[in-house]
Amino acid sequence: MHMQRSAIREVLEDQAAQSSPVPGGGRVLEREALAPWRRFASAGVAKVTTGVRRSGKTVFTRQLLGDRRFASVDFDDERLAAAGREDLDVILGALHEIHGAFEYLFLDEVQNVPAWELFVNRLQRSGMKVFVSGSSAHMLSRELATHLTGRFIQIEVFPFSFREYAAWQGLEARPTTAGKAALRRALASYLAGGGFPEVVAEPAMGNIYLSSLYTSIITRDILARYRIRHAKTFREMAASIVSNLARPLTYNKLKNTFGLGSVHTARNYVDYLSEAYLVFVLDKYSPKPKEILNSPKKAYVIDTGLMNALSLSPAKDRGAQLENAVFLELLRRRALDRTTELFFWKDYQDREIDFVVRRGNTVTALVQVTHASGRDEVDNRERRSLLAGAESLRCKNLMIVTWDYEGDDKSGERRIVHIPAWKWLLMTPDGNPTGAAGREPVKPPAR
């Protein structure tokens, strides 16, 4: 069923009149991921920006386009909900009528339109430079890879990092006692409220906004898209996973707990949560691919504020919140180096390492996370597990991210670095120190 041409034109004129993608035309922070991707803005490949709903993909893509003349269409507009593949050429024609000639085209939340990837492929062949955004990793499915055959790059956008949060607050990474205390307070607020841009800008609306956002993701990005019949069961399973982050997860246990028809259904349900960027599943490390596939998983949430908004007692496990924040930061760093993989490690003696970082076939770092504030508060099991993992995985880069303890431990030839979370999270995605507000590099605290 075709939409009426006049109705399409009216919607696109309304969208063109809204010059600011930020509600109310408010303040905009330049996202840190822009720098490495700017050189691709004029490249003849589709730029596909993905990420969770409301993470700032639209603003990021507009920043990436800069002052280039472009046309855009937001398919998340409910007035375009009925748009189908037969309407795409009508939309393109209407955009030319409104904007005149343009070389750059931004298709926002285009995954809502069937066969959109064929349309993008045709535009690419005609010489149009296409930018695409969407709230589903399914956009990079086999069909997209097939139709664009390598002529696209994926750019992942996350809610604000702690660096961006601190920059928004105007904080500097200073080695003074007062400066470090300010950063610890900021980190506590960041863990509590999370990094979604609209919550960072308006903290008072946090829980209400985040609860509504969660409902929207579940309803629009998962239940409606995948036509899940047992919606109540799915909601219960999703809430359980979000509330029990960093704990072992098996598809068989999910099947039994929620009375699902099969392990296959349980796996699909978790995949849907992952494709919506709501939950990330971490595999257990093994050199054997089959063992990785069949081993228990650990789940993390896209945002600690979202997790807290849904929890009955959000302050009960600050260590889990901090671990989740460290995981998300590792994901941001991985997004800039696709050769990097993340795992957790556990041996037959139940010694466990929170994060294993592997590049190619080499394990490059082992990372533990603890909410400890002093050396005597760091559980010796954390250190023993790191040393056991270092021996098994042949890795010398051992780190414990703490709440506020800094120092080194040596065990034979092994050295374990302890670093405060506020300091580690302020490092750039490539691991270099930076100033919180982007003006001065972080300096080591005076000892």
28, containing H or E segment: none
Give me the residues paired with residue 132 across strands: 48, 107
pLDDT at 260: 96
Written as tens digits, the pLDDT of the chain (447 aa) is 578 999 999 999 999 988 666 654 568 899 999 999 999 999 989 999 999 999 999 999 999 999 999 999 999 999 998 899 999 999 999 999 999 999 999 999 988 888 898 999 999 999 999 999 988 877 766 667 777 777 888 899 999 999 999 999 999 777 788 888 999 999 999 999 999 999 999 999 889 999 999 999 999 999 998 999 999 999 999 999 988 878 889 999 999 999 999 999 999 999 999 999 999 999 999 988 888 888 999 999 999 999 899 876 555 578 899 999 999 999 999 988 888 999 999 999 999 999 999 998 899 999 999 999 888 888 889 999 999 999 999 999 999 999 999 999 988 889 999 999 999 999 876 555 554 444 333 333 232
**How many of the other CB atoms lie within 10 Å of CB of 129?**
21
Distance CA 415, CA 319 (A): 23
- Sequence-ordered list of residues with C-beta below 8 angstroms from that of 41, at least 6 positions apart, any chain: 47, 64, 65, 66, 68
Q: Minimal CA–CA distance to 278: which of 341, 336, 215, 197? A: 215
What is d(CA 203, CA 162) in angstroms, rounded to the nearest whole number?
15
Listed in sequence order, the residues at least 6 apart from 131 whose beta carbon sits closer than 8 Å to its beta carbon are 46, 47, 49, 61, 64, 65, 70, 104, 105, 106, 107
Q: Are 405 and 437 in contact (CB under 8 A)?
A: no
- The terminus-to-terminus CA distance of the chain in angstroms comes to 70
| Per-residue pLDDT, 430 | 58
Residues ≥6 apart with Cβ < 8 Å to 45: 124, 151, 152, 153
The pLDDT score that the predictor gives to residue 441 is 33
Three-class SS of residue 253? helix
Q: Which CATH number fits domain 5-156: 3.30.1490.20, 3.90.50.10, 1.20.1420.20, 3.40.50.300?
A: 3.40.50.300
What pLDDT, on the 0 to 100 scale, is given for residue 149?
Answer: 74
Q: Which residue from 287, 319, 284, 285 is spatially nearest to 298, judged by alpha carbons?
A: 284
Read off the DSSP letter of residue 277. Answer: T
Those residues whose C-beta lies under 8 Å from the C-beta of residue 5, and which sit 6 or more positions away, are 90, 94
Give the number of other Cβ atoms within 10 Å of residue 395's Cβ.
21
CATH 3.40.50.300 residue window(s) in the chain: 5-156
67 token code pair: 């002052």
β pairing state of 352-359 and 340-346: antiparallel
E strands present in 285-374? 297-301, 340-346, 352-359, 362-369
Under DSSP, the state recorded for 127 is: T
Are 65 and 104 within 8 A, CB to CB?
yes
Structure token pair of residue 202: 């308006």
Question: Which region, left, alpha or beta, applies to residue 368 given φ > 0 means left and ψ of -120 to 50 means alpha?
Answer: beta
Q: Is the dihedral of CA 23, 29, 33, 34 positive or negative?
A: positive
Q: pTM for the complete prediction?
A: 0.91
Q: What is the pLDDT of residue 49?
A: 93
